[in-house]
Chain A
Amino acid sequence: MGLFEQLGLDPYKLAIQSFNFLVLLFLLNRLAYKPVLRMFDERASRIKSDLDDAKRMREEGERDRQTYRDQLNRARDEARAVLDEAANVASRIREQAMFDAESTALAIIARARQDIARERDAALKELRGEVATIAIMAATRVVKRSLNTEDARRLIDEALSDTELATKAD
């Protein structure tokens, strides 16, 4: 016991100091370790969850981008098809318009020719009537004056000349 006495070992003091330490252990465990370790766990779990979310969102973003890319490609294809169709339609319309215009022009020309022919026939017919009248007038004069051959010929020429003049005057 002398050694213990010299070293200051004492059962009461040993018990008190051990108790002190146990109290410290209990209090620190209750007040500091548990809350802090719980926070470590929560933080780790939060970080893991955030990383998982980020990964999931990245995958979703990738999927969305792919979807948009597909949609864009489809839209481009559709637009291209629409443009091609429009070009085809325009081409058809243009061809049809040209055909119609050509047909109309031909019809107009044909009608004009018919009108011209009709006018010419009418003019010729009218001219024949005039010529006949003049011939009758000339004949009447010949008969009245007992024309000789030379006079008759002169009168006919005059009549014809008058007819030509009349025609030119018209």
Chain B
Amino acid sequence: MELHASLKAEELFFIGPVGITNSMVMAWMAIALLVVVGWLGGRAPALVPSGIQNFLEFVLEFLYNTVISTAGPQGRRIFPLFATIFLFILTANYMALLPGVGTISVPNPKGHGAVAKPHSLVAVAEAAEAVGSRPSSQGSPEPAEHHELERLPLFRAANADLNMTLGMGLIAFLFIHASGFMAHGTKGYLQELSTPLFLTPVKLMIEGFVPISLAMRLFGNVFGGEMLMAVMNWPIVAVPFMAMELFFGFIQAIIFGILTLIFTSLATYIPPGHGGHGHGDADHGDIHGGGH
């Protein structure tokens, strides 16, 4: 059996021109889970924590200490984004390992086509074979995923969709540079980016690739993991790969968050003796205010 995987998330239904994909469904489920847990843990915090507040505090304290130890006191401003990135990626990655993800299917809203076994990755390959297309590895001019399947997987890992990872990457990118502008002032930050002058294009290119690299790294790892799990879908055999996916899910979450944290710290870094602009002072004030 040859494996043809769909890089795109499958569209389950449409709202106007916008297709709602199975990765969006998973993202919403992860978001709902996080919001409910966050709400339950933070709705009436007690001085002596217990139950879900205890769990939430344990997680947030770990993240908070990570941020503060990396970025110093100004990390408090970065903390919400860092924590949300970490928690969302981790939750979405782990939810993707649950039974039913990729195996529960729904009818294809676009019409009838090949009959496929319901797995997001393998199904596409087998369905493509069923409709007689030639595998892409054999030089098929038409990618396998262009064929319409009769049924589509209802769930797909949220981070196995480049729109999701690139969206987070762009938000991180905007946050990094907004923080830089706030810390140095517009002129100061532009000077930072253009010093030395002859390296400015390189620096801009590097900065421009930050969201792309963040997005591609996460997407590639999660998508690769999905493929691995689809291929190694055997009893017992899948266990070590599942454990590996648990580990990589955590690592990917921490990498995305830590890189955002480090880039933000670098963008807002003011060397000792350089007073910085008024916004820098405002930042310092925000640290104690805890605002985002």
Contact = CB atoms under 8 A, between A and B. Distances in A.
Contacts of A41: 290
B57 A8 contact: no
A31 B42 contact: yes
B7 A8 contact: yes
Interface string A27-51: 1110111111111111100100000
B10 to A, nearest CB: 9
A36 B57 contact: yes
Interface in B233-285: none
Contacts of B61: 40
A39 B37 CA distance: 17
Interface in B208-234: none
Interface stretch (A16-24, A67-75, A86-94, A158-166): A16-24
B13 to A, nearest CB: 13
Interface residues of A, number: 35
Interface of B: 6-9, 17-19, 21, 23-24, 27-28, 31, 34-35, 37-39, 41-43, 45, 47, 49, 53, 56-57, 60-61, 64, 76, 79-81, 83-84, 87-88, 143, 161-164, 166-168, 170-171, 290, 292
A37 B49 CA distance: 13
Nearest to B27: A20
Q: State the majority secondary structure of interface residues on A.
A: helix
B273 to A, nearest CB: 31
Contacts of B24: 13, 16-17, 20
A7 B163 CA distance: 9
Nearest to B169: A18
A23 B87 CA distance: 14
Given A13-B21, A33-B83, A42-B47, A20 B39 contact: no
A31 B9 CA distance: 30
Interface of A: 6-10, 12-18, 20-25, 27-29, 31-43, 46
Given A8-B8, A13-B163, A35 B42 contact: yes
Given A8-B7, A31-B39, A36-B57, A20 B28 contact: yes
Nearest to A8: B8
Contact of B163 (A9, A29, A42): A9
Contact of B42 (A24, A32, A42): A32
A38 B143 CA distance: 53
B45 A8 contact: no
30 contacts: A6-B7, A7-B7, A7-B162, A8-B8, A8-B9, A8-B162, A8-B163, A9-B163, A14-B166, A14-B170, A16-B24, A17-B163, A18-B168, A20-B24, A20-B31, A21-B171, A24-B31, A24-B34, A24-B84, A27-B35, A28-B83, A29-B84, A32-B41, A33-B83, A34-B42, A36-B56, A37-B60, A37-B76, A40-B57, A40-B61
